[in-house]
Structure 1
Amino acid sequence: MAELTAEHGDLPALETAGDAPASNENGAHRTPEELVAKAIAPVKSEFLRPPPVRPCSSGHTEATPEAKASAPQSGLVKEKKSKRQLKRERQQEKKSALNLCPEIAKTGDISSCRYNDKCRFSHDLEAFNAQKPAELEGECPFLGAEEPCPFGLACRFSGTHKVVASASTPNSHKKSFEMNSLKKDVQKLLWKNKMRLPKSEACLKSLGLMVHNKSVKKILEEVESKEPASKDCSVANGNDCKDGVPSELTNLDHPWEVAEGNSAAAINVTVADELRPLKKQKNILEEENSIGNADDGTDILQRDSKESYTLNEQKASTDNMMIENDDGSLKLNPREKKLIDLRDKLYLAPLTTVGNLPFRRLCKSLGADVTCGEMAMGTNLLQGQASEWALLRRHSSEDIFGVQICGAYPDTVARTVELIGQECTVDFIDINMGCPIDLVVNKGAGSALLTKPMRIKAIIEAASGTVETPITVKVRTGYFEGKNRIDSLIADIGYWGSSAVTIHGRSRQQRYSKLADWDYIYQCAARAPDSLQVLGNGDIFSYVDWNKRKSDCPSLSTCMIARGALIKPWLFTEIKEQRHWDIASGERLNILKDYVRFGLEHWGSDRKGVETTRHFLLEWLSYTYRYVPVGLLEVVPQQLNWRLPSYYGRDDLETLMASDSAADWVRISEMLLGKVPDGFTFAPKHKSNAYDRAENG
């Protein structure tokens, strides 16, 4: 799924550790400056691992078998299984005695299960005890909780359950909890498509965006496809557009008629997907009062009590009016919505796969101020998929927390944000309009929206008009490289209802190749209105990078940290303490231990929970090996696009942590979670040596 890309413009795909040569063609060692110019990490010569070579018959040299055997191996160590094979394995697991009924595991009593013989879990305690894996070292992560361990006999630390915590032991579980779980009754309503979402329906109706006929979307998409993607359809570029609407759509006699080609035939529909109605819905004040025009061009609303209210002419739209929803409540003016202040805060970006709750919790302990969940697809949330709702989970330590959603149409996004507002506790909702993944883009979401400015407008207006929760947006510079377009939309994004916008300094076509274009981010930040917070994203890997981006552009609110946090999560500590932390291998191991503890609390301490924790730990280790300790570098700080030579650490553990071999990552996991099961294999979901698709956009 991932592709190899380069972080530097004139470099091939990033190579794994050991592939970046530290010497030139003549065998002479390069200077640190030469290595930096070639985007190779300038590791001190005494730590470099010289590859043994031997001459061959042709006069060239090649690595000896010993060198090849000792060289780091690829992380890809397993073949992809078919869906049928995975289904067969799941069915076999259900029949296994290790799949013990949770109720029996908690109580140890076979009669405690109310389903008896109809239970889909095993009730054979003797067979379970005979096959149960060996216990792990350490204490049960739920030992200090008010209630007993929820996994009982199935816990891999069940031997410590008899230990009574002393009165002096702090009970971390009293203040540590998770929220935003999917309720069963809500899930059933979503499954049956019976969940009522009146606010989104009222907002979509007021904006003229209610779509009940799927053919309407197809028609409008055909019209959109006729517009060249390189052109901006906005108020700023106005020759081919009028008020942000393509000229071919503004010459229609009826606001709901959509012309097809140059023919006179038009399809009359009852709703529009992309266009707001030409005639705005009258609000309460307009229905009760007459409207007069003053000489200065302002509108004056005169009440029977002869009180007058002056409205700014250019703001006389639905967002300046008190619209009444279907449930009788008044929709808030954007100026009356809740505010979110992100200025100068350390923001952990939403990260695919690795940006899970335990990792965010770890980053919070290391200094992160703002956290955001992994990108969730709006359609999956509306269908009640438990796996997608798990991405919305929030830990009590996340004091400023947001969720990121992705959708292709305003009706989907509006219903999703209302559902989240009803069922979840969040501080902001981020809409992803920059995801470069083909699976997302082909559905018209993510980066595909960068070619449809009118749909961006409709989505933001629909989302911000539905909930009081602040709406933020994450975008890229544009869809095609060299054809940036966010600068022409930046002034409108805040007016449409967004509280903040994060700009990833790369186009969709670039993915994660080349360095981020911070000059363009600065240009957009300078054009943004004061009410819109602009965040920059790309290549922040040290406090020096953070300081430079902030000092170069005072109008930039803050910087979002993504892959830098994956490789060294203590980056937040470095920024707050303004230092390069030469962290020891033992300190790094303690950070991994904290992550494992958080993972066991989140995914469970039973066999399945331990292996889930191991899986995500290995996914994370596929990034952490890219870190080069400060004490080993000739030039500080390390840059995100540097390739790594093969080197030794200052101790065996540091050397092990620098390996790009999946087998060595498994060894590290065994130090924390015990031996892996028989037949265990691991292949990283992301090819992290190319930094590909580590974050969403």
Structure 2
Amino acid sequence: MRTRDKQVTFDEPRFKALAIGPLTIDPPVVLAPMAGYTRAPFRVICQQMGCRLVYTEMVTAEGVSRRSPPTMRYLDIAPGEGPIGTHIYGVDPDAMAKAAEVIESLGRFDLIDVNCGCPVPKVTRKGAGVALMRQPETLRRIVAAMVQATSLPVTVKTRLGVSREQCNVSEVAHAVEEGGAAAIAIHARFATDRHAGSVDLAALKRVKAERGIPVIGNGGVTSPQDAFAMQQKTGVDGVMVGRGALGNPWLFRDVNRFSNGESPAPPTDAERRAVIAQHLEHLYQVVAEWEKTLPNRKYTSEQVACRMFRGHLSYYLAGMRGVRQLKKRLMKMESIEAVMAGVDEVLRTNASDGASRQSAPYL
């Protein structure tokens, strides 16, 4: 979905609020759970920019139910975070219910989201993730068991189907609602598409018309106009942003400005640098906490944090001159000082020749 290619204007560019159980999300544009990306440091930044709902990375219900330390560390949150949901996967209703009980007992979370869309083989070969779309009745039982086990709202994130030949999102959405879910988020692509290609807004509109629970649209949203157009064209109750927010948490600031009829405000280089520095430093602090209970004897906390940050940094500096060369050097950068020196070099290079990248304008 792309609305940047031409001018899009609205008489009243205001979103309709999203209600999930007792939660009211306004504007209704939320950050999608993303493995390897939606740890506390990035979530905090998105919330500072105005995002009203975030999620943890995906965790296994089995690990949560056993309170496995390597799993539970992904459920750590920063002070003041919220509203926030967990994002779990599994295929056994009893294990999912037990995990829901454990999650609620932590007292940190506002909802529990079930993964029914991940196409990664290590998840699907267990029958979980998008493979659950082949078993709507099992999914219904999972949701029902979780709803019975917790007072927190239970939601589901899914896709249109495993493939174009297996488009059963309507059946899956029916099972989710029958199980008692408070909402369903739909990535309007097939598992075989991964994150490529256009999204099917007609499918979102159809499911929204068929179901009585809130429907959240996901896929291809990279601007406030994309989000607003998705809600207007399909009637979905909310919009979920995934990769469109990577390297651009300012999108949520722009969503709020757009919702109030104001013009978006692309980040300056100084703002970009400040966010990068905050993100990396916070990630280092998170890893240092992990090291207290799960020590890494091969690398220091700073080295681990710098390695984990590489993916984010590529997004933050995407499109700027000198990034390709920096990426090669990043493989050897294992200190915060070295990483930030590289960032400064790229920013200086782009500023000196007038090519400093601002976020692409939302046309």
- What is the TM-score when the length of structure 1 is the normalising length? 0.42
- Change in Cα spacing, 1:675 to 1:466, as seen in structure 2 (3 Å) is closer
Give 1:655's match in structure 2, choosing from 300, 306, 321: 321
1:509: how far off? 1.9
**Secondary structure of 1:341's partner?**
strand
Q: 2:242 & 2:325 partners in 1: Cα distance?
A: 20
Find out whether 1:609 has 2:289 as its counterpart. no
Q: Cα distance, 1:440 vs. partner? A: 0.4
Counterpart pick for 2:48 among 330, 351, 365 = 365
Question: Are 1:594 and 2:298 matched, yes or no?
Answer: no
Q: Distance in 2 between matches of 1:496 and 1:546?
A: 28
| Conservation of the 8 A alpha-carbon contact between 1:340 and 1:499 | no
Distance 1:547 1:660 in 2: 37
Q: Distance in 1 between matches of 2:186 and 2:94?
A: 24
Pairwise CA distance, 1:668: 8.3
Unaligned runs of at least 5 residues, structure 2: 7-19, 292-298, 341-363
State the match for 2:11 in structure 1: none
Q: Does 2:313 align with 1:621?
A: yes
Q: Secondary structure at the match of 1:465?
A: helix
Cα deviation 1:438-466 (Å, max 9, x = unaligned): 11000000011101111011111111111
Q: Which position in structure 2 is the counterpart of 1:460?
A: 143
Asked if residue 583 in structure 1 is aligned to residue 264 in structure 2, the reply is: no
| Residue 387 (structure 1) aligned to one of 66, 70, 77 | 70
Any idea what SS the aligned residue of 2:185 has?
A: strand
Moved more, 369-378 or 561-570: 561-570
CA distance in 1, matches of 2:27, 2:283: 29
The gaps in structure 1 that reach 5 residues or longer are 1-6, 9-32, 38-336, 629-653, 677-697
Q: How far off its partner does 1:667 sit? A: 8.4
Q: Secondary structure of 2:55's match?
A: strand
Alpha-carbon distance in 2 for matches of 1:487, 1:598: 41
1:534 paired residue among 206, 212, 215: 215
1:87-126 Cα deviation digits (max 9, x unpaired)? xxxxxxxxxxxxxxxxxxxxxxxxxxxxxxxxxxxxxxxx
Distance 2:176 2:285 in 1: 40
Partner residue in 1 for 2:80 = 397
Q: 1:434 to 1:675 in 2, by over 3 A?
A: closer
Q: Distance in 1 between matches of 2:266 and 2:99?
A: 44
Q: In 2 relative to 1, CA 583–448 (structure 1 residues): closer, same or farther, beyond 3 Å?
A: same
Q: Distance in 1 between matches of 2:221 and 2:107?
A: 31
The answer to whether the 8 A contact 2:137-2:175 is kept is no
Indicate the SS of the match to 2:24: coil
**In structure 2, distance between residues paired with 1:400 and 1:509:** 32
Structure 1 counterpart SS, 2:275: helix
Change (3 A) 1:473 1:523: same
| Corresponding residue for residue 512 of structure 1 | 195
On the 8 A contact 1:621/1:665 being kept in 2, the answer is no
Following superposition of structure 1 onto structure 2, how do residues 92-241 of structure 1 map, counting pairs within 5 Å? none
Q: What is the RMSD of the two structures over their aligned residues, measured on CA atoms?
A: 2.8
Q: 2:337 aligned with 1:673, yes or no? A: yes
TM-score by length of 2: 0.79
Structure 1 position 544 matched with structure 2 position 219: no
**Paired AA for residue 536 in structure 1:** G
Instruction: Give the % identical residues.
Output: 23
Give the match for residue 473 of structure 1: 156
Q: Secondary structure at the match of 2:152?
A: coil
Per the alignment, residue 184 of structure 2 pairs with 501
2:104 to 413, 421, 424: 421
AA matched with 1:519: A
Change (3 A) 1:409 1:342: farther
Measure how far apart 1:665 and its partner are: 4.1
Structure 1 counterpart of 2:131, from 435, 444, 448: 448
Distance, in Å, in 2 between the alignment partners of 1:552 and 1:665 is: 42
How many Å separate the matches in 2 of 1:482 and 1:430? 26
Report the Cα distance in structure 1 between the residues aligned to 2:333 and 2:198, rounded to whole angstroms.
32
> How far does residue 482 in structure 1 lie from its aligned partner after superposition?
4.1
User: Which of 562, 565, 573 is the matching residue for 2:253?
Assistant: 573
Aligned with 1:419: secondary structure?
helix
* Higher relative helix content: 2
Amino acid in the other structure paired with 1:365: Q
Partners of 1:589 and 1:619 in 2: CA distance: 16
Cα pair 1:366 1:569 within 8 Å, conserved: yes
5 Å-filtered alignment, 1:222-371, equals: 339-342=22-25, 344-371=27-54
Distance 1:526 1:566 in 2: 31
Contact 2:217–2:240 (8 Å) recurs in 1: yes
Helix, strand or coil: the match of 2:191?
coil
Alignment of 1:677-688 (within 5 A): none
Check conservation: 2:27, 2:52, Cα contact below 8 A: no
Partner Cα distance (1:460, 1:501) in 2: 11
In terms of Rg, which structure is larger?
A: 1
Displacement of 1:364 after TM fit?
1.2
C-alpha contact 2:54 2:84 (8 A) present in aligned 1: yes
Change (3 A) 1:499 1:591: same
Shift of the alpha carbon at 1:614? 1.0
Give deviations 1:479-530, integer Å, cap 9, x for gaps. 122432122343442232100100001111222221221221121112111x
Of structures 1 and 2, the one scoring higher in RCO (CA 8 A, sep 6+) is 1
Letter in 2 for 1:608: T
